[in-house]
Chains A and B, each alone.
Chain A
Amino acid sequence: MDHKIAYELLESYAFGILDEGERAAVEEHLNTGCAECAARLRDVSELSVRLAMTVPQVEAPGRIRERLFERIGMTHHPARSRARERSLTGWLGVAWGTAAVAVAAAVVLMFQTVTLKHELRDMNKQLTANALETQQVRTELADYKDELEKYKGTRLLGEPGTRFVSLNGMDPNPQAFGTVATAPDKSMGMLYVYRFPMAPENKEYQLWGLRDGKPPISLGMFTVDKNGTAMLKMESIPASEEIVGFSVTIEPRGGMPQPTGMMYVKGMDPMEEPAGG
């Protein structure tokens, strides 16, 4: 992989979001000993550690340790490793004898490699052009899918078994209210809110799924129109079986990984609310 391309993928490499092919290509470049990329990766990886610290810390079950050492016990054979070392030493003499042949073969291979590299470069160019075209088609398809999903969402309201949770206005704006409708299996849902103030330019509203004894889950961002209303389609609801209610807070545009702003509406699912709670 070209240095520039690898360099530009280092954030994603450290975040673990590259696919297998891209990841292998970045590693191949790093293995060439590129000091600039190694330094950049070091910086980005340290940021990744700090971001990881914002995740709620829970205690690891003891089973992990038990399973780990059981597995190591099954695969760890020091005697076998030593036997392999001895065997390698023995092969060294033979290796020297064949070195001259290997050098000659390497020269031939080098010429073949140059030719292949040229072919590979041409193929890469073609692949890049194809990838751009595919991306355009994907984006168009995503637009159509959005439209279709909005239509599907409105149909949800008429389906039997759909559950509704009323959201009531909170202190900053008590007249606000809303409803969350979820499919019977909670796999998808719609949010409708009314009488919300327009969010400041650098802010957006963020919908949260509330869980019993666990941190809320982000379910999406939205803004309201000039009438203070908004509709948000939730294509899938993460950890849906754990959600016992919903709330909306105002957050910096782009959303936050956890609620930090004022809460505007909140409602608990009467079917999920614990007795007396």
Chain B
Amino acid sequence: MDPARDAALLHRIRERDETALSQLYDRYANFVYSLARSIVRDDGDAEDVGQEVFFRVWERAGAFDPARGSPAAWITTMTRRLAIDRTRSRSFRARGREAPIDAVPASAADDGAAAAMSAEANEVLEALKRLDPPYREIIRLSYYEGLSHSNIAARLGTPLGTVKSRLREGVIQLRRLLDIKT
């Protein structure tokens, strides 16, 4: 991911340059589709989310604010939000898939699948492993399972305030382990 190049593409998209959208699509299509699919767990729903993400990029490229993060971060947040919202919709629940499920990464124990994992992904998994258990649990439930604060509180039997503070602290710890500078 190249923030400068992506930002330039977004600039051109804002000017209604379809070629730039096509290039951005090529760079992010698999990432967006895989992320959406890991949350909605359905190929058709993931396609819908993927299409909606890029349509919003086209329509709202002007809303991208580099002060709030890179283009990759903007696209990631949008993808997660659309996918999680879909799992919370009435029609999704009516199909008996109420729980937004964890985004299960390829298993290190799964033959062949681990080979596809990037070194960066493995680094993140190692950091998760070293996280204090209550924080690892809260990251797993919020990020990989996409649960809301109240659902996490009900699941763990802990007060809402504890859920929020643990998530905050978990993110701080994880960033420290990954050596992400503040």
| Smallest beta-carbon distance A130→chain B, Å | 13
- CB neighbors of B among A140-187 (8 A): 142-143, 187
CA distance A25 to B22 in the complex (A): 33
A117 part of interface (Cβ distance < 8 Å): no
Chain B residue with Cβ nearest A42: B69
Is there a chain A Cβ closer than 8 Å to B62's Cβ?
A: no
Q: How far is the CB of A266 from chain B (nearest CB, A)?
A: 10
- Residue in B25, B32, B102, B120 whose beta carbon sits within 8 Å of that of A53 in the complex: B120
Interface string of A229-272 (1 = CB under 8 A from B): 00000001011000000000100111111111001000000000
Q: Is the C-beta of A51 less than 8 angstroms from some C-beta in chain B?
A: yes
- B171 and A11 form a contact (CB under 8 A): yes
Asked if B41 and A252 sit within 8 Å, CB to CB, the answer is no
Q: Does B160 contact A (CB under 8 A)?
A: yes
Question: Chain A interface (Cβ within 8 Å of chain B)?
Answer: 8-9, 11-19, 23, 30, 35, 38-39, 41-61, 63-65, 67-69, 71-72, 75-76, 78, 81, 131, 135, 138-139, 142-143, 187, 202, 204, 215-218, 236, 238-239, 249, 252-260, 263
Report A42 CB to chain B, min CB distance, Å.
Answer: 4
CB distance from B9 to the nearest CB of A (A): 15
Size range of the chain B interface in the assembly: 35 or more
Contact B140 A49 (CB under 8 A): no
**B84-107 interface with A by 8 A CB criterion:** 84-85, 96-99, 101-107
Query: Is B113 a contact of A51 with CB atoms below 8 Å?
Result: no
Which B residues are in CB contact (< 8 Å) with A43?
A: 175, 180, 182
Q: Give Cα A45 to B75, complex, Å.
A: 10
A58, B146: Cβ atoms closer than 8 Å:
no
State the Cβ distance, A169 to closest chain B Cβ, in Å: 17
A60 touches B77 (CB 8 A): no
* Chain B residues within an 8 Å CB radius of A75: 59
Closest to B84 in A: A16
9 A-B interface contacts by CB (under 8 A):
A12-B142, A41-B68, A45-B76, A52-B35, A55-B34, A61-B33, A239-B101, A249-B109, A256-B136
Determine the distance from Cα of A105 to Cα of B176 in the docked complex, in whole angstroms.
51
Chain A: which residue is nearest B160 at the CB level?
Answer: A135
**Closest beta carbon of chain B to A173's beta carbon, Å:** 16
Q: For A143, what are the chain B residues with a Cβ–Cβ distance below 8 Å?
A: 157
- Per the bound structure, the CA–CA distance linking A143 and B70 in Å amounts to 42
The 4 closest A-B pairs by CB, nearest first: A253-B133, A254-B137, A16-B80, A45-B73
Beyond A17-B84, A64-B33, whether A236 also contacts B99 by CB under 8 A is yes
Known: A54-B124, A135-B153, A135-B159. 5 other contacts (CB 8 A): A39-B67, A57-B116, A204-B133, A215-B113, A257-B105
Q: Which residues of B contact A (CB under 8 A)?
A: 1, 16, 18, 21-22, 25, 29-35, 37-38, 41, 43, 47, 50-51, 54-55, 58-59, 65, 67-70, 72-74, 76-77, 79-81, 83-85, 96-99, 101-110, 113, 116-118, 120-121, 124-125, 128-129, 131, 133-140, 142-144, 146-150, 153-155, 157, 159-160, 164, 167-168, 171, 174-175, 178, 180, 182
Residues in A neighbouring B32, C-beta threshold 8 A: 60
Contacts of A45 in B (CB 8 A): 68-70, 73-74, 76-77
Which of B73, B80, B140 has a CB less than 8 Å from the CB of A254? B140
Identify the closest chain B residue to A9 (Cβ).
B164
- Give Cα distance in the complex from A68 to B157, angstroms: 43
B182 to A64, Cβ gap below 8 A?
Answer: no
Chain A residues contacting B69 (CB-CB under 8 Å) are 14, 41-42, 45-46
- Assuming the contacts A254-B134, A258-B105, asked whether A58 and B37 have C-beta atoms less than 8 A apart, the reply is yes
